[in-house]
Every structure is written in structure tokens, then in C-alpha cells.
Amino acid sequence: MRDLTIGALSKRTGVKVPTIRYYEQIGLMPPVPRTDSGRRSYGGDDLKRLGFIRHARNLGFEIEEIRQLIALAGDPAQPCADADAIARRHLGGIDDRIARLTALRGEIARMVDHGPHGAIGECRVIEVLADHGQCVNPAH
């Protein structure tokens, strides 16, 4: 049964209307039939798919990864290895970002915690930002 408007779908999933339209435009959401008045008409499968997309986006998956996962979900008899590989690659990216953020946090903490907090001429934050060589981890 297709009785959800785009506004109702948006409210039920928490995905904004322009984002739903964008997902349709890029083919992440399938084209939906329209009523005689031209309104989009969504059903339960659309609700589930958009919920899947939203959850995957909230977990940081990129659009292409989600597209691949949706394609895999369309063939439930195939092995899970491909979906697992996508998730493992994504996890590796998260680990890389955590390592970079940890290094960044350390550098910022050192800037703030060391040196006088008096006049700007003696400000450690300004000194370090002006001279990248003063950073402990220059790869940040």
C-alpha cells in the first residue's frame, strides 16, 4: 500500500524532504509513483529503505558504500562476505580518523597547556600556529 506523502515519509524517518529528493535523483531511492495530482506516493518498502539509508549515513557510510550495501541486500541468498568487507573498510577509515583526531587533540592540548597565558606576544597558541616545526606530531 502506497499512502505516504514525502512529508509523511520525512516525519517518519527524520530525513528532510530535500534529502529524500536528492536520494531519488542519485538513484539511492527508487523512483516512486505519483498520484493524479503529481504527488509522490511512498509505501512500506520505501520507508524501510530510507530507514536503512539514514541509519547507514548516521554510522558514517558514504553514498557509494550504501548503494553497494543496498544492492547486496537485494539478494539475500548471497554470502555476507562482501557486506562484511565494506563494513571492515569503513571501520578502518574510522580508526584512521580517530588516530588523526587523537594526534590533533594532543597538539592543541600542548598549545593550550604550555606557556604563559598573558599577552598575545607571548601566546603559545600563536607561536605554534606560526611555526609548524614546534608541533610534536608534524603529520597531523
Separation of CA 103 from chain center: 22
| Lowest mean pLDDT segment, chosen from 31-35, 37-41, 110-114 | 110-114
Instruction: Say whether both 47 and 96 belong to one domain.
Output: no
**Which of residues 140 and 107 earns the better pLDDT score?**
107
68-81 pLDDT, tens per residue?
A: 999 999 999 989 99
Q: What is the mean pLDDT of the chain?
A: 89
Domain stop point among 44, 77, 110: 77
Domain that holds residue 35: 1-77
Partner residues linked to 2 by β-bridges: 43
For the chain, what is the domain count? Answer: 2
Q: Are 29 and 53 within 8 A, CB to CB?
A: yes
Instruction: Say whether both 65 and 114 belong to one domain.
Output: no
Confidence of residue 6 (pLDDT cuts 50, 70, 90): very high
Instruction: Say whether both 2 and 69 belong to one domain.
Output: yes
Instruction: Say whether both 64 and 130 belong to one domain.
Output: no
Question: Measured between alpha carbons, how far is residue 63 from residues 2, 53, 69, 102 in Å?
Answer: 26, 9, 10, 26
Give the Cα separation of 48 and 101 in Å (integer).
Answer: 34
Confidence of residue 125 (pLDDT cuts 50, 70, 90): confident
Instruction: Say whether both 71 and 83 belong to one domain.
Output: no
Domain stop point among 26, 43, 77: 77
Instruction: Say whether both 69 and 84 belong to one domain.
Output: no
pLDDT of residue 85: 97
Give the Cα separation of 69 and 71 in Å (integer).
Answer: 5
Instruction: Say whether both 111 and 134 belong to one domain.
Output: yes
Q: Where are the strands (E) in 1-140, listed by range?
A: 2-4, 42-43
Nearest to 50 by CA among 16, 89, 94, 97: 16
Query: CB neighbours of 59 closer than 8 A, spacing ≥ 6?
Result: 90
pTM value is 0.79
